[in-house]
Structure 1
Amino acid sequence: MTIRVVVADDQELVRSGFAMILDAQEDIEVVAEVGDGAAAVAAVRELRPDVVLLDVRMPVLDGIEACRTISAGTACRTVMLTTFDSDEYVYEALHAGASGFLLKDVRRDDLVHAVRVVAAGDSLLAPSVARRLIEEYTAATARSVVGALPAQRLEVLTARERETLLHLGRGLSNAEIAAALVVSEHTVKSHVGHVLAKLGLRDRIQAVICAYETGLIAAGTGPGGGGGSRVSPSGE
């Protein structure tokens, strides 16, 4: 099956470069290149692509608002394109429905991999963006959002599912969660599916947000209560 993609970036060289890389793949077709958020929304509505790459900062309508509109009104999945000077928008964009983040200096193979992963229904963060999101953003921003979701929301989870959410929030892969819980990866996948379904979460990225906003994980802590954490770039 061919993955249909829209590329939205106000920098023509970036936009055309990404489009050229993706169009060279047998299983990917770039159906539109646009230079602003409003045009991205219109292209998604008209062409119904599987994935849209959105620059965070664009004229007319910025990437975050475009992401919010696209996520609310279509089945298209969004990947935000960013540079570190704009990563203050990471948390907001994830709330808007982004399925992942990539840096604009992403390697060719990683760009292609990201589109395939997101099109398959998974979530993805560039490893460096993931570290910034969990290590810095939650430390600064989560102080104002902890408690934004009532802790009672987690009462629908079993004890093991709650443990799974804790590990998801700390950015562990399925293999790492399996090792921590001493179960198989198949069992972990089942637990993850139950957590997402019971809490009404779209993907693992939303699970990270939920873990912080319900206070399950204290802002600024990583695995074992330390300061470092990560999100698996593949979501697995």
Structure 2
Amino acid sequence: MKIATYNVNGINGRLPVLLRWLEEAQPDVVCLQELKAPQQRFPIKEINAAGYNAIWNGQKSWNGVAILAKDLEITEVQRSLPGDPEDIQSRYIEAIINQTVICCLYLPNGNPYPGPKFDYKIAWIKRLKKRINQLIKMDLPAVVIGDFNIIPTASDVYKSERWEDNALYRKEVKTAYKQILKKGWTDAIRTLYPEETIYTFWDYLYNSYSRNAGMRLDHILLSPYLAGNLKSGGVDKHVRGWEKSSDHAPVWIILD
């Protein structure tokens, strides 16, 4: 099964890019973030025409997450991260596909640091840890996947010394990411490529893409149940170079 994540940065404005990539890559399951569209404006007809079922939680202007599946049934589990009933931001959706729990997330950016947005990010991470630790305890085949807005290590960003006080790279979020891995989750892409420079995001400014001045923000974590099934994976970096593309590139893995 080929599972991918893609922060589309506006699904309607970049729909031709998404459809082109789906046709080229043929993933079985796709998690999307930053739909930037209200629920009723999700392009379900075009997605269905491309051969995919979908569940989604839209939101006007910002946020929004979706899970697509090709020739596979999607059973929705929940469309918000447990732990804060007052949190109305559309950043999490969870489903079961092919007997595997798929947790699609768009973790808060947290900038500027310090401030309430960073506090919200830390609180959100705590809620996420609680939910995914439940999946570990239940010994389920599970994938936690999406735009984490976390740069895990210095090797995951161009010129890391410039990012020390950025919410993407603050020690608090790096520590939280390490704690998640210590609980048993496997960072699939870093496991496959332990030494390589791998980025998933390149800013639109300063010719970042052409200079490969990027960062790795989009992650795929596997529960212990699935870790041994990891066969291959990668980043479709070339998609970032397409006209009117997102500032993120799709990230994918293949499980046996």
- Normalised TM-score (structure 2): 0.28
Write 1 or 2 for the structure with the bigger share of helix: 1
Higher relative contact order (CA 8 A, sep 6+): 2
Write 1 or 2 for the structure with the bigger share of strand: 2
